[in-house]
Amino acid sequence: MCAGWVGCHGSDLLALRLAAARGIVDGTDLDGTRTTTSVPLFSSGAAAAAHGLRDIDTPGAPARKAMTKIADRRSDTTTLGCKQP
């Protein structure tokens, strides 16, 4: 489980409530995951999404390199004209 996802949304996540109800995950584990992380969390899913989309129109050199690496290996993807640095 992503600690950021769980930490940000907690018990509001239907997927986690269903997983606990079905015995897929232990409710005690969920409580520990929500409160234990070594990095700061965003205050909301919207804040995390805004951060994730911040550089989408002008990706930095590391992102362009990763995009090119993926596109070179997969015929079903493209970098949409994004040039290597």
Q: What is the pLDDT of residues 9-31, one digit of tens each?
A: 776 788 888 888 898 887 666 66
Q: How far apart are CA 85 and CA 83, in angstroms?
A: 6
The residue type of 80 is L
What single DSSP character describes residue 83?
P
Decide if pLDDT at 83 tops 70. no
> Which one is predicted more confidently, 33 or 5?
5
Average pLDDT of the residues in 51-59:
90
Average pLDDT over all residues of the chain? 79
> Which one is predicted more confidently, 55 or 32?
55
